[in-house]
Chains A and B, each alone.
Chain A
Amino acid sequence: MEFWQILTYAGAAVALGAIVLRAVRYAGTPIHLRWELYPVAHEKGRADYGGSIFEELDWWTKPRQVDHLNELKEMAEEILFLKGVYLHNRKLWVFSFPFHFGLYLVTAWLALLVVAATGRVAGADPGGGFISACMLAIQVTGYAGLALVLTGSIGLLFRRMSNPDIRRYSAPVEFINLAFFIVTTGVALVVQAMYDPAFKGLTDYMYSTITFNQAVLPDMWMRTEVVLGSLLVAYIPLTRMAHFVAKYFLYHDVRWADEPNPRGGKIEGRIKQAFGYRMDWDAGHIQKNGTWAEVGTEVIDDEGEK
Chain B
Amino acid sequence: MKPQETRPKDICLDCRQLVELDVGDITKLPPPYDDWVDEPIAEVPDEKRERFEASLDGVIGNVIPVPGTEEEKQALVEKFLVGIDKLFSKEDNWTFLQPFLLSIENCVKCNTCADACPIFEASGRVEIYRPLFRADVLRRIANRKRSKLGALTGRLTGADIPVTWETVARLADLAYRCTLCRRCAQDCPMGIDNGLIAREIRKLFSQELGIHPEELHGAGTMKQLHVGSSTGMNPMALADILEFAEEDIEERTGLNIKIPVDKAGADILIMHNAGEFLSWPENLQAFAIMFELAGLSWTIASDLVGYDSVNYGLFYDDIQYSRVTLKHAEVARKLGVKKVVMGECGHAHKAFMATGDRMWLGESNIPRESCLTLMEDLVCNEKIMVDPSRNDFPVTLHDPCNITRSMGIVMPQRKVLKKIAPQFREMTPHGVHNYCCGGGSGFAIMQSNNFPDWRMRIAGRKKFAQIISAFDDCIGPETNKYVCAPCSNCKGQIRDLLTYYEAWDRCRILYGGLVELVVNAMVDVKEGFLEWDFH
| Chain A contact residues, CB within 8 Å of chain B | 25-26, 29-40, 43, 46, 49-60, 78, 82, 84-85, 87-89, 92, 96, 163, 165-166, 168-174, 176, 240, 243, 246-247, 249-251, 253-255, 258, 260-264, 267-268, 271-272, 274, 277-286, 292, 295-299, 301-302
Of residues 137 to 187 in B, which have CB atoms within 8 Å of A's CB atoms?
155-159, 182, 185-187
Q: Is residue B502 within 8 Å, beta carbon to beta carbon, of the partner chain?
A: no
Smallest Cβ distance from A114 to chain B, in angstroms? 29
Given contacts A32-B99, A283-B209, contact A37 B90 (CB under 8 A): no
A285 and B320: CB pair below 8 A? yes
Known: A84-B188, A281-B86. 20 other contacts (CB 8 A): A29-B97, A32-B94, A34-B358, A35-B99, A52-B407, A52-B409, A54-B407, A84-B112, A84-B189, A88-B112, A96-B110, A169-B109, A169-B111, A240-B105, A240-B106, A243-B190, A250-B99, A255-B185, A268-B365, A285-B320
B339 and A32: CB pair below 8 A? no
Q: Is residue B450 within 8 Å, beta carbon to beta carbon, of the partner chain?
A: no
B94 and A292: CB pair below 8 A? yes
Smallest Cβ distance from B188 to chain A, in angstroms? 7
Contact segment of B38-46, B229-237, B369-377, B478-486: B369-377
A278 nearest in chain B by CB position: B91
Given contacts A286-B319, A301-B222, contact A281 B207 (CB under 8 A): yes
- Number of CB contacts from chain A to chain B under 8 A: 270
Q: Which of B127, B323, B353, B357 contacts A296 (CB 8 A)?
A: B323
Chain B: number of interface residues, binned into ranges: 35 or more
Q: Which of A31, A53, A166, A246 contacts B105 (CB 8 A)?
A: A246
Given contacts A88-B115, A89-B110, A250-B102, contact A36 B225 (CB under 8 A): no
The docked-state distance in angstroms from the alpha carbon of A279 to that of B7 is: 35
A50 nearest in chain B by CB position: B432
The docked-state distance in angstroms from the alpha carbon of A33 to that of B314 is: 11
B100 nearest in chain A by CB position: A32
The docked-state distance in angstroms from the alpha carbon of A92 to that of B187 is: 14
Q: Most B CB atoms within 10 A — which of A172, A246, A258, A262?
A: A246
A to B CB contacts below 8 Å, 9 in the list:
A49-B411, A51-B411, A171-B157, A174-B109, A246-B106, A254-B98, A282-B82, A286-B319, A302-B217
Residues of A within 8 A of B86 (CB): 280-281
Q: Most B CB atoms within 10 A — which of A29, A33, A267, A268?
A: A33
B323 and A302: CB pair below 8 A? no
B112 and A267: CB pair below 8 A? no
Residues of A within 8 A of B432 (CB): 38-39, 49-50
Q: Is residue B116 within 8 Å, beta carbon to beta carbon, of the partner chain?
A: yes
A280 and B91: CB pair below 8 A? yes
The docked-state distance in angstroms from the alpha carbon of A274 to that of B206 is: 21
The docked-state distance in angstroms from the alpha carbon of A130 to that of B188 is: 43
Q: Is residue B326 within 8 Å, beta carbon to beta carbon, of the partner chain?
A: yes
Smallest Cβ distance from B198 to chain A, in angstroms? 13
A37 and B109: CB pair below 8 A? no
B210 nearest in chain A by CB position: A283
Contact mask for chain B residues 2-23; partner A; CB cutoff 8 A; 1 contact, 0 none: 0000011000000000000000
Residues of A within 8 A of B94 (CB): 29-32, 274, 277, 292
A59 and B191: CB pair below 8 A? no
B431 and A49: CB pair below 8 A? yes
Given contacts A36-B354, A51-B411, A56-B373, contact A280 B405 (CB under 8 A): no
The docked-state distance in angstroms from the alpha carbon of A255 to that of B222 is: 31
A31 nearest in chain B by CB position: B358
Smallest Cβ distance from A20 to chain B, in angstroms? 16
Interface of B is mostly: helix
A247 and B210: CB pair below 8 A? no
Q: A-B pairs with the 5 shortest C-beta distances?
A: A52-B408, A171-B158, A50-B432, A296-B322, A84-B189
Given contacts A57-B376, A172-B155, A283-B207, contact A29 B322 (CB under 8 A): no
A54 and B409: CB pair below 8 A? yes
Residues of A within 8 A of B310 (CB): none
Smallest Cβ distance from B367 to chain A, in angstroms? 5
B156 and A299: CB pair below 8 A? no
A251 and B362: CB pair below 8 A? no
Given contacts A52-B409, A260-B357, contact A173 B158 (CB under 8 A): yes
B102 and A272: CB pair below 8 A? no
Q: Which of A57, A87, A251 contacts B373 (CB 8 A)?
A: A57
The docked-state distance in angstroms from the alpha carbon of A37 to that of B96 is: 14
Q: Is residue B526 within 8 Å, beta carbon to beta carbon, of the partner chain?
A: no
A58 and B369: CB pair below 8 A? yes
A37 and B108: CB pair below 8 A? no
B207 and A85: CB pair below 8 A? no
A26 and B362: CB pair below 8 A? no
Residues of B within 8 A of A246 (CB): 102, 105-106, 190
B106 and A50: CB pair below 8 A? no
B193 and A254: CB pair below 8 A? yes
Residues of B within 8 A of A299 (CB): 225-226, 323
The docked-state distance in angstroms from the alpha carbon of A163 to that of B110 is: 10
Q: Is residue B412 within 8 Å, beta carbon to beta carbon, of the partner chain?
A: yes
Residues of B within 8 A of A171 (CB): 156-159
Smallest Cβ distance from A176 to chain B, in angstroms? 7
Residues of B within 8 A of A240 (CB): 105-108
Q: Is residue B274 within 8 Å, beta carbon to beta carbon, of the partner chain?
A: no
Q: Is residue B296 within 8 Å, beta carbon to beta carbon, of the partner chain?
A: no
Q: Is residue B278 within 8 Å, beta carbon to beta carbon, of the partner chain?
A: no
Residues of A within 8 A of B519 (CB): none
Residues of B within 8 A of A249 (CB): 98, 102
Q: Most A CB atoms within 10 A — which of B7, B94, B96, B323?
A: B94
A250 and B190: CB pair below 8 A? yes
The docked-state distance in angstroms from the alpha carbon of A88 to that of B188 is: 8
Residues of A within 8 A of B196 (CB): 35
Residues of B within 8 A of A165 (CB): 111, 114, 130
Q: Which of B156, B370, B433 contacts A54 (CB 8 A)?
A: B370
